[in-house]
Amino acid sequence: MNFMTKNAVVPKLMIVGAGVLQLPAIQKAKSLGLDVAVIDIDPNAPGVCYADKFYEVSTNDISGILAAAENYHPDGIMTLATDMPIRSVASVAEKYKLYAVTPSVAQRATDKIEMIRCFERYDVPHPWFEVITFEEELKDLLLKHSVPFIMKPNDSSGSRGVVLVKDYHEVRDAFLYSKSVSKSGLILVEEYMQGPEVSVEVMTIRGETTILAVTDKLTSGAPFFVEMGHSQPSQLPNETIEKIKEVAITAVQAIGIDNSPSHVEIIVTEDGPKLVELGARLGGDSITTYLVPLSTGVDMIQACILMALGQIPDIAKKFEKGSAIRYAECKLGVLQKINGVNEALNIPEVKHVEIVKCLGETLTPIRSSSDRVAYVITQADTVQDAIRMCENALGKIKFDIK
């Protein structure tokens, strides 16, 4: 599909965010022949150079983005792989009658406390939870609940501020750590759910919800649970996968999503699948930019662009293969040199290698997704082979760290 035809009016798409996570959408929109405007507070963001128009506005500045839309007159608006800009997208879409979630849905999908209360109202399986604001509330919390439990800020993403509390002596430090990255000051305390973690990649088009993939997730574990790998399709039993899909669809309906992608995170506990949280957006960590297309043939980014422009995209699966991403684990210190990238790329199943950190940077403990160093993405006939090829490729990349 290409919108660039002779004498035709070229549709105008506004993309909120021009960073690395939004870059695939910007490039895809340009390849489709669209006129693209991007919003970002950083004039040096990597997506700016691909856009036809740039507005130097924070992605969370709703009034500023409304003013930019008044100037640009977009035919569609979207974001990719980040949560809070969804509120800006919804506000512009409401004012200009574009296709996106409503502001009320955007609020529920980006406020962790509102979200879990919504799940509670609609009987969506979820962990027990408490909301605290002040250190003085910790005493009452511990009278009601025993460790272990999870603390996380109401308004963070990328695992920032999420910590497992395993001992009573850790409670205060965990609370202060979570609060340090929270703008609202609200901390969500949740049951520590144990079991396999998955995400569900969902498209809801004019009220009809379709599940495209269930993704197995690999995390760094306690205490920070940073995602270190993903693979598709899920290797869980079919019966479990069907229950996961049911919970995901119920969660989408509970939030009220009717025209948006969703990235639904679930843990399969002894009591069955329970919601972690939902994002009314495409998943990050290359799940929807690479893994879904590699495992199903469905281009979710193009589908979202077409949805934003009021069209109904083709999201039928084209094939079934395995895909995987794995992040490198490195020792701490200053990154001096990297060898073996070309050797990794020479493996036929390897589709992408990305070095995230620059030479001279200090590698710190992985407490959030921004601390990760490098990753490899693969495609194979089976998910098991895709994972194995990821590990083989990472084994060829050598990091010289002092």
Supply the pLDDT for residue 44. 98
Task: Say if residue 158's pLDDT is above 70.
Answer: no
Task: Enter the tokens of residue 144.
Answer: 């009601």
Cα–Cα distance measured from residue 364 to residue 350, given in angstroms and rounded to the nearest whole number = 27
Residue 97 CB contacts under 8 Å (≥ 6 apart), including other chains: none
CATH of the domain spanning 324-401, picked from 3.30.470.20, 3.40.630.10, 2.60.40.10, 3.30.70.270 = 3.30.470.20
Please give the model's pTM, rounded to 2 decimal places: 0.91
What is the pLDDT confidence band of residue 12, given thresholds at 50, 70 and 90?
A: very high
For the chain, give every domain's residue range.
Answer: 12-98, 128-191, 194-320, 324-401
Domains 194-320 and 324-401 share a fold: yes
pLDDT tens readout for residues 246-258: 999 999 999 999 9
- Beta strands 163-165 and 149-153, pairing class: antiparallel
Do the beta carbons of residue 21 and residue 80 sit within 8 Å? Answer: yes
pLDDT tens readout for residues 260-313: 999 999 999 999 999 999 999 999 889 999 999 999 999 999 999 999 999 999
Asked if the peptide bond before residue 223 counts as cis, ω within 30 degrees of 0, the response is yes
Domain 12-98: CATH class, spelled out: alpha beta
pLDDT tens readout for residues 205-222: 999 999 999 999 999 887
Residue 5's CB: how many other CB atoms inside 10 A? Answer: 9
CATH of the domain spanning 194-320, picked from 3.30.470.20, 3.30.70.20, 3.40.50.720, 1.25.10.10 = 3.30.470.20
DSSP 330: -
Cα–Cα distance measured from residue 372 to residue 170, given in angstroms and rounded to the nearest whole number = 25
Q: What is the mean pLDDT of residues 26-40?
A: 98
Residue 242's CB: how many other CB atoms inside 10 A? Answer: 10
Residue 69 CB contacts under 8 Å (≥ 6 apart), including other chains: 14, 77, 92, 95, 96
pLDDT tens readout for residues 330-388: 999 999 999 999 999 999 999 999 999 999 999 999 988 889 999 999 999 999 999 99
Give per-residue burial for 176-210: e unless 16+ CB within 10 Å, then b. ebbbeebeeebbbbbbebeebbbbbbbbbbeeebe
Topology of 128-191 in CATH? Answer: Dna Ligase; domain 1 (3.30.1490)
Task: Say if residue 183's pLDDT is above 70.
Answer: yes
Residue 249 CB contacts under 8 Å (≥ 6 apart), including other chains: 202, 209, 211
Task: Enter the tokens of residue 162.
Answer: 């999420």
Contacts 24+ apart (CB under 8 A), 4-9: 4/32, 4/33, 5/33
